[in-house]
Chains A and B, each alone.
Chain A
């Protein structure tokens, strides 16, 4: 059974760094890509970035300067780090499994709600 689960702090102070972990089961990180997608309250979905099966990454150009995605295949975990957080980064953050060609997200985590506030 394919599962993804996000974990991390629910509250982050402005200007600080957000660190989230996505723990996956039922598939290998060397067989499927994993993306991060976020959704501000009451708004739409924003693709943030992807870590491909080979370990390379690609990012949304709007977030690229602040965002880093990495992984530990032995622990089946994907990590998101984003620095210089502002209130507009308040959102639910999802990790999702990505099928190749085309890029389709066929399994999602339940989401991690993150509030940026002092």
Chain B
């Protein structure tokens, strides 16, 4: 199975700050990487797929990049509504596997 290692585990950021979350795969996943946001008591919501494609309706301050085994999610200007937990997930091979999550809070 492909292992996904996500960092950091938690992060606090000020309003307007740029935030970056990292995800590393145990093997090349050829940009088969998605990012999800989960708010307390809610289901995960897709933000980014194919490593860098923005899902419809997601604000443009979210962006994804990376290739091979290294990927990142960037929030260009932290907003209050961006608080939550972020997960990466590889979709190249089954079983689909997730990173352990990054809890993002407002400082």
Q: A residues near B, CB below 8 A?
A: 35, 44-47, 50, 58-61, 94, 99, 101-111
Contact = CB atoms under 8 A, between A and B. Distances in A.
Q: Kindly name the residue among A61, A94, A103, A110 whose own CB sees the greatest number of chain B CB atoms within 10 A.
A: A103
Query: What secondary structure prevails in chain A residues at the interface with B?
Result: strand
Contacts of B46: 104-107
Contact of A102 (B36, B87, B91): B91
B60 to A, nearest CB: 18
Interface string B84-107: 000101111011111111000000
Interface of B: 1, 29, 32-34, 36, 42-46, 49-50, 55, 87, 89-92, 94-101
Contact of B92 (A60, A94, A102, A105): A102
Contacts of A110: 42-43
B87 A58 contact: no
Query: What secondary structure prevails in chain B residues at the interface with A?
Result: loop
A102 B50 contact: yes
Nearest to B34: A104
Contact of A46 (B34, B43, B98): B98
